[in-house]
Amino acid sequence: MPDLRFDPLRQEWVAYATERNDRTFLPTAFCPLCPTGAAGASEVPLDTFEVVVFENRFPAFGPDRRKGRPVRPPTTGCEVVVYTPEHEHTLAQLPAERVRLLVDVWADRYRELGSRAEVAYVYIFENKGEEVGVTLHHPHGQIYALPFIPPFAEAELDASREHFVREGQCLHCRELALEASGPRMVLSESSMVAFVPRAARWPYEVHVYPRRHATSIADLDEAERWDLARALLGVTGAYDRHFGFSTPYVMAVHQAPTDGRDWPQAHLHFEFYPPHRREDRLKYLAGVELGAGTFVNDTRPEDTAEQLRRSARRTARMAGKS
């Protein structure tokens, strides 16, 4: 059974899920996320699909298990979101219509999971590539319905709340106004902006924001959802073009908690953390990052933003020709 323990020194929760040691690891002969038909043995017993969501067989949080499989919990839990039946595709290679549908799926799961009594935060994310610990290559993301607000999101919310009280303005909105047309901007899709943050921790870190103050993905209107889909394709495509290969990354979605309180200081955004600092070198977390909590970045955000901006423009031109 997954177990949560609270660290009183760091004031944060730690999850223990020993059964995850037995989860499927980089299979070569069989993919658990490929459609296998009604009689198939995969997690997706369908002939085909667009986007599929199901409970994680090896959850890090929450659900009870029955006969070795997770039972959908009444409150917290973990879900897998499979983006496409195509095993070799990545998010960057999906058609805009599929990514637009994926945005709707994320919004639906945010509302559904967030409505559960003990879910304080709906954390949507994707791990892509063996370099960040992926155990299945089939394109997919995950959603954790957490019984607490995770520390990174909580730190952002606290800082934004303090700024809101002091200045009467969202801190994210202020930063967005500075970045939207500045030297760290990567691309713009009407209502969405992508940029390398001024204090980026990872060399090619990119944040994607709606220009409008939307607290969650469920708040986005039709046009904004289309723009978000195109922005996500633009960012992931820029990574691939810049590095010259399918780029590993972690994608994290930060948005309003679902604990029943008002969070006017929350501002939806996507954060991308690619582990590469060059085509042939990775950024590893070492003594000062892990032991002291202070990131050391070998690149300047203005320089990496310029590189990604060029790649994003080339990607957009190539997409326009196809």
Residue pair 199/156 in contact by the 8 Å Cβ criterion: no
Cα distance between residue 187 and residue 235, in whole Å: 8
140 labelled catalytic: yes
Please identify which of the residues 140, 163, 242, 269 carries the catalytic annotation.
140
- Of the candidates 175, 176, 174, the residue with the CA atom closest to the CA atom of residue 191: 176
CA atoms within 13 Å, Cβ hemisphere of 153: 26
DSSP string for 295-322 = ---SS-HHHHHHHHHHHHHHHHHHHHH-
Tell me, rounded to whole angstroms, the distance of Cα 60 from its chain centroid: 16
Token pair in block for residue 283: 């950024």
CA atoms within 13 Å, Cβ hemisphere of 173: 14
CB burial of residue 229 (10 Å; 0-12, 13-18, 19+):
buried
Which positions are catalytic?
A: 140
